[in-house]
């Protein structure tokens, strides 16, 4: 276990560096000039060159990259070119909103997936099973950028039950959480169903039935517990996907999180801010994957890490 964790930690930083390097060069390759975004096209060339020189944008891209890495090693994420504030302060001020939305979306996904997944397995090949699978198929077929506006039109504009956008009370979380969690719920329904159907045919289930254990206890205690390992895998991977998917959902619902901040940074060619946002999202994704591997061992002691 210790050896495995050491190997994962050794891979953690090169993976993160590769992600940041890719983002750095891709952001700089986006057409557009951040100086023109800040000053406008009518400003004189001398003013533009002066600002570009002051921000270090006149340097070769390789030099800018090395300066970025040097500052990052010192814990300095730089200053936003457009919002004129520290990148770390801007990013971490938006982090609570993104965490709130992500956890809420995961809660919605779990509340939908576990009952429907268990019901589909117990009622295999019956109408409940087909209904759960149809719901899962619809969830997978509806992208966030389509489902979000549809929910806004129906529940906000049409019925007036829920707010259209913004962050406030619990009612503001309902539509963006459902939009973000729907795909995850659809994947989990199928995973829970298939894992349960595989576990229910194991020898220990036959032994439990021979001892007179009730069907309810067999499904919910013995089969469900031993089928959680692949479900945890999907949860870990999809948590990172939720963080990435929050970029679209936060933009649709004007949710003041890191996802919306990332889009704003890209639109204004704010290189340091975009890199800071991607740094937080990438780090979160890698940390969640590492914690998922550790959780394997807690759920199933038979899992071996080779050391």
Instruction: Give one DSSP letter per residue of 116-137, joined into a string.
Output: HHHHHHHTTTSHHHHHHHHHHH
Residue 52 has pLDDT above 60, yes or no: yes
Is the CB of residue 104 less than 8 Å from the CB of residue 292? no
For residue range 160-179, what is the model confidence (pLDDT) as tens digits? 888 888 887 788 888 999 98
Which residues lie below 8 Å from residue 226, measured CB to CB, with a gap of 6+? 199, 202, 204, 300
pTM of the model: 0.77
CA distance 52 to 272: 14
Please tell me the total number of residues recorded for the chain in this structure.
Answer: 307
CA distance 72 to 55: 17
Percent of the chain predicted with pLDDT > 70: 85
Highest mean pLDDT among 146-150, 246-250, 264-268, 279-283: 146-150
Q: What is residue 302's predicted lDDT score, i.e. its pLDDT?
A: 56
Is the CB of residue 165 less than 8 Å from the CB of residue 253? yes
For residue range 3-50, what is the model confidence (pLDDT) as tens digits? 766 776 777 778 878 877 887 787 777 766 666 666 666 666 776 677
For residue range 217-240, what is the model confidence (pLDDT) as tens digits? 777 776 777 777 777 777 777 777
- 79 forms bridges with which residues in the sheet? 86
Is the CB of residue 87 less than 8 Å from the CB of residue 71? no
Cα distances (angstroms) measured from residue 231 to each of 20, 113, 196, 213, 289: 29, 11, 10, 25, 13
For residue range 190-202, what is the model confidence (pLDDT) as tens digits? 888 888 887 777 7
CA distance 280 to 95: 9
Residue 289 has pLDDT above 80, yes or no: no
Name the token pair of 144: 């966030």
Domain with CATH 1.10.3720.10 in the chain: 87-299
CA distance 191 to 132: 12
Instruction: Return the CATH architecture of domain 87-299.
Output: Orthogonal Bundle (1.10)
């Amino acid at each position: 276990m210790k050896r495995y964790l050491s190997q994962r930690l050794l891979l953690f930083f090169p993976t993160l560096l590769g992600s940041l390097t890719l983002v750095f060069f891709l952001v700089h390759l986006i057409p557009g000039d951040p100086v023109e975004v800040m000053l406008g096209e009518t400003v004189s060339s001398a003013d533009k060159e002066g600002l570009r020189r002051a921000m270090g944008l006149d340097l070769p891209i390789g030099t800018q990259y090395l300066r970025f890495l040097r500052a990052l090693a010192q814990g300095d994420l730089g200053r936003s070119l457009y919002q004129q504030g520290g990148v770390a302060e801007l990013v971490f001020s938006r982090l609570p909103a993104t965490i709130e939305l992500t956890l809420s979306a995961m809660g919605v996904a779990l509340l939908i997936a576990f009952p429907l997944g268990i019901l589909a397995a117990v009622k295999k090949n019956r109408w409940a099973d087909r209904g759960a699978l149809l719901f899962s198929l619809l969830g997978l077929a509806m992208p966030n950028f389509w489902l979000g506006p549809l929910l806004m039109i129906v529940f906000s504009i049409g019925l007036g039950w829920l707010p259209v956008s913004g962050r406030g009370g619990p009612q503001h979380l309902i539509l963006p959480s459902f939009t973000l969690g729907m795909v995850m719920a659809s994947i989990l329904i199928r995973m829970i169903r298939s894992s349960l159907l595989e576990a229910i045919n194991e020898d220990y289930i036959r032994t439990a039935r021979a001892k007179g254990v009730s069907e309810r206890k067999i499904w919910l205690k013995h089969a469900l517990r031993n089928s959680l390992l692949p479900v945890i895998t999907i949860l870990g991977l999809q948590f990172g996907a939720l963080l990435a998917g929050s970029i679209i959902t936060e933009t649709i619902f004007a949710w003041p999180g890191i996802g919306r901040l990332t889009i704003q940074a890209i639109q204004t060619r704010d290189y340091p801010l975009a890199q800071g946002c991607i740094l937080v999202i990438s780090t979160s994704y890698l940390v969640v994957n590492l914690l998922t591997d550790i959780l394997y061992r807690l759920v199933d002691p038979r899992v071996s890490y080779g050391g």
